[in-house]
Amino acid sequence: MLIQVGYELVFNCRQMTPMILMVNVHYSRASDIVRPDCLTTDPETPITAYRDGFGNWCSRIVAPIGRIRLKSTGVVRDSAKPDVLAPFAEQHALQDLPEETLVFLLGSRYCETDLLSEVAWSRFGQSTPGWSRVQAICDFVHNHIAFDYQKARSTRTAWEAFNERMGVCRDYAHLAIALCRCMNIPARYCTGYLGDMGTLPPYGVMDFAAWFEVYLGGNWHTFDARNNVPRIGRVLIARGRDAADVAIATTFGQNTLESFKVWTDEIAESALQLR
């Protein structure tokens, strides 16, 4: 199937404001891109780009004083298959983990493994290592946190989400990631597009989504503690240790986000041909 993805962000800047933007479809989906999701700015502003330490594509601009609109629309071809399940994927012994996975065992800005270690081992220490343990963590997080978009907070950490028992998709991901790391399972944060394809109404407000991946059985596997069911149509933008590594926009100066829109919709092949 074809998925049209995109966003429109409108900032009002009090002074010239450098920004780092992480808004492009991830390079791992390069072969699926039917129409590139090129970043455009209004007013027109020079853009430079680089890859960060996690391989994510980042764009740099210096926003002028006043209002600036950042926008993109792309089309991605997707298999329309749900997230892959691998229930027999085994947990690696620590000494057998590849070096590149070890950073995803450590505590990070939003995932306080030191504070959650006792909670994790008391709840999941007797669970079966591997896929079953990660699923048990997802089941717990899914039931423990109440989704409340109105109470979203950009500073909420995994420890705070555990205690406050509320949050949005990033809070589900942070808590599940922290618990997995406490159980010696490498876990990394993912952000991207996730539409309502294959689900029943009512539909929520469209936003960028958060989920996570764990390293089991020699591969990275997708888990989603917020939805806790396999979903179709995930389009990855970036991966990192937690949300601090994959912020959609990091700004360096006083500004106001005046408008924020995200879309991800299935479109027909014929619709693409007509454009």
User: Are 68 and 171 members of one domain?
Assistant: no
Q: What is the pLDDT of residues 22-52, one digit of tens each?
A: 999 999 999 999 999 999 999 999 999 999 9
How confident is the model at residue 98, as a pLDDT?
98
- pTM here? 0.95
User: Are 105 and 53 members of one domain?
Assistant: no
| Token representation of residue 67 | 């209002």
How confident is the model at residue 273, as a pLDDT?
64
18 within some domain = yes
User: Are 74 and 168 members of one domain?
Assistant: no
266 within some domain = yes
User: Are 112 and 66 members of one domain?
Assistant: no
DSSP state at residue 264:
E
DSSP state at residue 43:
S
Domain count across the chain: 2
Q: What are the DSSP calls for 52-102, one per residue?
A: -TTS-EEEEEEEPSEEEEEEEEEEEE---PPPPP-TTPPPPPGGGS-GGGG
How confident is the model at residue 16, as a pLDDT?
97
User: Are 111 and 216 members of one domain?
Assistant: yes
268 within some domain = yes
User: Are 12 and 118 members of one domain?
Assistant: no
User: Are 136 and 195 members of one domain?
Assistant: yes
Q: Which residues contact residue 133 at a Cβ distance below 8 angstroms, ignoring those fewer than 6 apart?
A: 91, 124, 127, 183, 185
User: Are 105 and 213 members of one domain?
Assistant: yes
87 within some domain = no
Q: How far apart are the first and last CA of the chain?
A: 17
Instruction: Determine phi and psi for 252, rounding to 5 degrees.
Output: -125, 75
User: Are 104 and 221 members of one domain?
Assistant: yes
Q: Is 169 exposed, middle or buried (0-12, 13-18, 19+ CB in 10 A)?
A: buried
User: Are 24 and 131 members of one domain?
Assistant: no
50 within some domain = yes
- Tell me which amino acid residue 184 is: N
User: Are 99 and 198 members of one domain?
Assistant: yes
CATH number for 27: 2.60.40.2250
239 within some domain = no
What residue numbers bound the domain in which 60 lies? 2-79+248-273
Nearest alpha carbon to residue 116 among 144, 157, 169: 157
C-alpha span between 119 and 25 (Å, rounded):
36
C-alpha span between 90 and 133 (Å, rounded):
10
Instruction: Determine phi and psi for 212, rounding to 5 degrees.
Output: -150, 165
CB 275 within 8 A of CB 27: no
C-alpha span between 181 and 117 (Å, rounded):
9
Q: What's the gap between Cα 26 and its chain centre?
A: 11
CB 37 within 8 A of CB 53: no
How confident is the model at residue 274, as a pLDDT?
52
What residues of the chain score a pLDDT lower than 70? 273-275
C-alpha span between 274 and 2 (Å, rounded):
14
C-alpha span between 132 and 155 (Å, rounded):
30
CATH number for 135: 3.10.620.30
